[in-house]
Structure 1
Amino acid sequence: MTFQDLPSDWPTRSLTDTDIAPDIVDLVVRESDREGGCLSILLCGDGDRLLQPVAITDLDDEPHLRRREVFDTFLGSFGEMLSGIVVAVGRPRGHEPDDEARAWHEAAIASCREHGVPLLGTYLATVHGVVEMPQWEELRAAG
Structure 2
Amino acid sequence: MGTAELLPSLVLRDGAWLAENFEVHRQVGTLIGELAARRATAREVAALRQQVAAVRAGSDADQVQLADAEFHRTLARATGNRVSLLMTNTLLGGYLPVRQALARPFQDAAAAADRLHPVAEAVAAGGADAARRALEAYMTDTEGLMRATDGQRPGREP
TM-score (norm 2): 0.30
Instruction: Specify the structure having the higher radius of gyration (Cα).
Output: 2
Structure possessing the higher relative contact order (Cα contacts under 8 Å, 6 or more residues apart)? 2
Flag the structure with higher helix content.
2
Flag the structure with higher strand content.
1
